[in-house]
Structure 1
């Protein structure tokens, strides 16, 4: 019996040692699990209606249609402001403009003299904006957060905050030197329009170094100048109401083509299953039929034509594709959602949520927006509108100082997605309740 007991003890000890070794090995494998590449694809000046998968009758976007079909696609996405510089700053930081303080495109002080509405061309523009850049460099950005996980980050396309390094990127196309024309992207604006080779080189570098990468692809597309390839323009001349509209529609397809090129390149490298794609547009655009300008209901406006955008998250095999036409999401959600997927703790300063978390999404009551003057100084001086979006209402509150002749507007954005009928006078209790939500948001 003693020998049997001793033999049993030895067997149990061997099993225990083997099991412990296996547990340690599993734990080690979890900590060294391959991290996904992350690709942010950002459209520039495109209305939420102007995609094939969003129902446009003429614009062809087959590559983005395919991305939408393979993604958790939120068709009721929003950016917090309808102007590129503050919108992009919110995407990379995950906070509202009032927090990152990039309120507009150009900073104008009270004693500055602006000639011909061209603040961007004034000799003092870069000096004024240096204050904005210094403040921005103190903030957390997604590339900075990802450094601790070993990511290489690179910037291409639109970038307003000086040199790419100011956002925490390791590599980039934008030098930001005002003496060489640096303002909103400089060499970065060539990506897409003049090919994709620089971005491909960055991807190759990361793969060579065996590093996960974060790519910021924010091409100057379909942004004006609307000068699409002639082959694309010919497709739309017959169906568009004017040459101006035909050019804009063709630009949307040109942008879509570049997105397809990028996704195909990553697929050719065998990285599709290990890449998280996130899509958003920085702000909307409605093309005038009779000139090259945009309609004032879109860019820089508080309406959905300026603010609404589809937002997509694709990670093959990890995120189940689903087309969500009801939930309200924001570009502020992009950073916290990415961090959640990577298992990185969310910084307290972030204003968004993890939209892939069912509880967080279902418990969300509202998302907010704010719009400032294109040429800005302080929040108080430059604020034009505050907005709140709920299910089903959207409230627009003009700042009486900057918009003294405008009234509060209320829309049912689910029944009236083009915001044709203001119902503020019919629903005073809703207006009061939503004003309170805005006030509470700003107190935070």
Structure 2
């Protein structure tokens, strides 16, 4: 019997990376912080020379930080759906922000309130109900959950949240968050109130904090803007940089509230951005090429931080790869819950599993879904990062693959595909093998 127990413990530690699954009485609260449109470089702890992010810098010092973190798609809606489901876009079926409508004269953003187009929007939104999302799975274990900020999939209840700010009614302007978009920009009281009620009720909680920050419109308070009004910055850059610091302050306010309520040590905090953004220096509220909606690191790379004081040893990992598909299995494992067998990600707290990983994958789609019944028709690129090599493959058969050494050349200035044809072939085979398993 003793040998069986020891063997079981060994398997358990191997699968969890030695972190230890939380018992029901000690399951952590979960705060998921998702930045909206922020480049992987745009933090103090990532080495930016101008942008100041003191609160996220502190969180980084208290976290297991993967600086080589990625999201599969550089567009917000499919990226957010991946975070909450743990599935790639081709698996969860949400591959764009809006559907293409049968009447080309109608803008998809404006057509959502018209009943004749309801099926196209509903086909996308109802997909979230078919997956065991994080709040749904946590809810089965007694968690209550709150949605705030960006949310595209209709009412918050469709994602499994017990509470939320987004009504999702297209007749009242519901699209990507509606009333929820006030969070951060207009304070954090809905989150504070929810946490206090959860604490009073003795319930573990899950908070989705996905403010539209530093996302445009770049309208920072004057006290932040003044700091970045410098001769070496254009007005467009000044406003975006100030937005990054304003967002950072809201993160600091959230963490300070947890500390005041004596909940910080019982709360797992995970941080990442939904996609990148490189500010066009001459066009306010506009992104530059090779950032948002692109397959380049300016669009898909983000630091990923996991923090739980006393449970997770702070460490900065500049070598190993992490992906937003890992968020769901990481949260579930930390909360002592089983991970659905169909999730492709790994537990980021399992250092052995992270170190053994050699490749991560992604897929880039157009802004509008060409065919809601066949969501991968809008595919524009696939990509793979294998150790330090990144291969970008256009969906257009006439397009040429691009190859970069993203460790030696993080800004992807030197396409090495013609110099390494055998490596391109090898990575293409690996990418095709991954893609062949798509649903």
TM-score, normalisation: structure 2: 0.91
Inter-CA distance 179–32: structure 2 relative to 1 (3 Å threshold):
closer
Q: Name the structure 2 match of 1:8.
A: none
> Stretches of 4+ moved more than 6 A in 1?
none
Is 350-359 or 417-426 further displaced after alignment?
Answer: 350-359
Unaligned runs of 5+ in 2: 1-21
Bigger Rg, structure 1 or 2? 1
Per-residue deviation, 1:338? 1.3
Determine if contact 1:384/1:398 at 8 Å carries over to the other structure. yes
Per-residue deviation, 1:342? 2.0
Determine if contact 1:58/1:239 at 8 Å carries over to the other structure. no
Q: Name the structure 2 match of 1:177.
A: 169
Match of 1:60 among 52, 58, 72: 52
Q: Name the structure 1 match of 2:341.
A: 348
**1:76-109, Cα deviation, whole Å (9 max, x unpaired):** 0000000000000000000000000110100114
Where in structure 2 are the equivalents of 1:269-288 lying within 5 Å?
A: 269-288=261-280
Match of 2:109 among 115, 120, 127: 120
Inter-CA distance 113–236: structure 2 relative to 1 (3 Å threshold):
same
Q: Residue 364 of structure 2: SS of its match in structure 1?
A: strand
Inter-CA distance 32–344: structure 2 relative to 1 (3 Å threshold):
closer
User: Number of matched residues?
Assistant: 409
CA–CA distance in 2 between the matches of 1:113 and 1:251? 35
Counterpart check, 1:244 vs 2:199: no
**1:17-36, Cα deviation, whole Å (9 max, x unpaired):** xxxxxxxxxxxxx8553211
Determine if contact 1:106/1:125 at 8 Å carries over to the other structure. no
Counterpart check, 1:320 vs 2:313: yes
CA–CA distance in 1 between the matches of 2:76 and 2:428? 26
CA–CA distance in 2 between the matches of 1:72 and 1:136? 29
Determine if contact 2:94/2:375 at 8 Å carries over to the other structure. no
Per-residue deviation, 1:380? 4.2
Counterpart check, 1:212 vs 2:204: yes
Inter-CA distance 282–240: structure 2 relative to 1 (3 Å threshold):
farther
CA–CA distance in 1 between the matches of 2:87 and 2:158? 17
Inter-CA distance 114–104: structure 2 relative to 1 (3 Å threshold):
farther
Is 376-385 or 169-178 further displaced after alignment?
Answer: 376-385
TM-score, normalisation: structure 1: 0.90
CA–CA distance in 2 between the matches of 1:175 and 1:257? 27
Q: Name the structure 2 match of 1:26.
A: none
Where in structure 2 are the equivalents of 1:87-106 lying within 5 Å?
A: 87-106=79-98
Unaligned runs of 5+ in 1: 1-29
Q: Name the structure 2 match of 1:400.
A: 396
